Structure 1
Amino acid sequence: MKSALRSAPPSIGPLRTWIAALPFVAVIAALAAVYTSVSGRLPEPLATHFEADGQANGFSSTHGFLTGCLVLLLVVGTGFGLLIQLRVPATGAHWLIAGGYATAAGFGFAFCLTLLDNADVTDASAVRLPLWQVAAVLAVALVAGALGRLLAGPALRPQHPAFGEAPRLDLPAGMSAGWSRTISSPPLVALGVVLLGAGLVVGILIDWLTSASLLVGGAVVVAVSSVRVTVDRRGLSIASTLLPYRIRFRHIPLDRVAEAGSRQIAALAEFGGWGYRVRAGRSGLVLRSGEGIVLRLTNGREFVVTVDDAATAAALLNAYADRARSRQGG
């Protein structure tokens, strides 16, 4: 058997990392410049929160306002930076960068407007927030997001080896083989137990109708937290170890498999979490980060499932898929 297919998503280059950090640095510098220009003309405290009609209803010290703005920008900026460094797939990085630009510009412009609105006012309660400024903040965020999307460059696509390069198991004609592994997620088990427990408590103390959603959600989470992945002459099947085998979460027959491979999968970076995940052009059951089977389906989509010994499963699945195509003359 050949080595397993390793088709990791393209990574984010250093230039894109700096591009992603740029708006937060620029906004902090702009906020410092605006404060410097109006620091001697600000009331104490500042009007920092407003009702729908524009009237001030929240106040803060100048030092507290500036500290809060700086902390918020640093935390949000660091969050976007961590998403970049956590190997977020390049196929989605351009939108992540655009979101960072829109967020930084929206917050920064609102903070600067707050300082300017308070300038030359002796009583902060007299400060008003014009409606046009709310629209302006949204417009600036949209323009900045578009700029970030432009600077991020073209969207990159995952690089897959050419068809036929994935591993095949040497399976003589007429011989059958099967492969099966179990994969569990302790965090999902814990979450399911917590939901079920909360549902029981709510049902006993309040009413069972109110607790129904917690009980159903807990049952679903527990059921999906431990599954058996099977590859045989019928294709790939995924079934809960806690339910009868005939009740399957997913079955992909051989005629839908274009090719199978295996690679390392980052649950949080690639799919945003754990469980049954759906993303543009792909879906899968991701119970942990690590080795997983990657199926390229005949409709162009991708299906993944994290499981040990994924390379063997992929090679067997390719062998069966080749055999099925040869019988159909394809």
Structure 2
Amino acid sequence: MTTSTTPAGRTSRRRLLAAAPAVALPLAGLAALVATRPDGRFAVPVVVIGLLALGLPLLRLRSGRPDVERRAVGTSWAFAVIVWWVPASRLAPQVPGWAWTVAVLAGAVVAYGLGHVLAGPDAPHPSATGGAPAGAVRTPLAPGERYLWARSVLSRPTLVLAGVPFLAGVALLLAGGAAPLVVVLIAAAVVTTALTAVARVRVDDGGVHVRQALLGRPLAEAPLAEVRGARSEQLDPEHFRWNEYGVLRRTPSVLGYRARRAGEALVLDLTDDRRFVVTVPDAATAAGLVNAELDRRAGQGAAGAAPSC
């Protein structure tokens, strides 16, 4: 009960309320689907999508992860539009099927954005107040020196995961029972998952950033203001589930990006007691740069706070 009074608890509760109407809309859509009595070719995909619309937000909205909660609210609103595709098309049969497909996809995009807006801002995180811990590895930096460290990583398990919906889509096409919207959704899932398999890890004076290598979309970020210290360590696969690859979102205590089962990893201790983990080569150099920048900022803050003569 005490968690509901914290900023993070209030944020999660607000997002549950924001997703509630979008969870109710698929129920109405499924009821309308039953009332219109569609054939099985259309009914099965919509029922599956409706179950996803009801289950995904409820499973992920209390994850404790702000990025997951925002996506869950947006996804619930997008699914609420998609579920109504078949019932609405049967209520207005004079509209061509391709027009309904375009309208529903556009509406789902708008609804996803609406969900993000309704999710609201994240709860504030405490800021780091000092330099890196004593004994932490440091990469020497000259006063005023600028730096940029970057590496590319490939998550082969994520590519394998992208192949699962691809094979399902091929099977549906060969069977001749795939609705156009279902094919589009499967293709979107394949492309989105495959794009996250190749990431670019960047360390600069703003923190650590993991982005899609092709589109540059942020996958995971740790602003320097929320970092207490950095280190390089060997990743223990026993601390992760067998399918936890790519962007780490399953637990509220760990975030980041996992490309390999084990190996060298950059680990950041954050001010909200979470860890930011990225499997990347030459992690010791990256950790040293983060710690050196923390020291430099702490020194600048102390100099700025010193009284003038």
TM-score, normalization by structure 2? 0.49
TM-score, normalization by structure 1? 0.46
Largest Rg, 1 or 2: 1
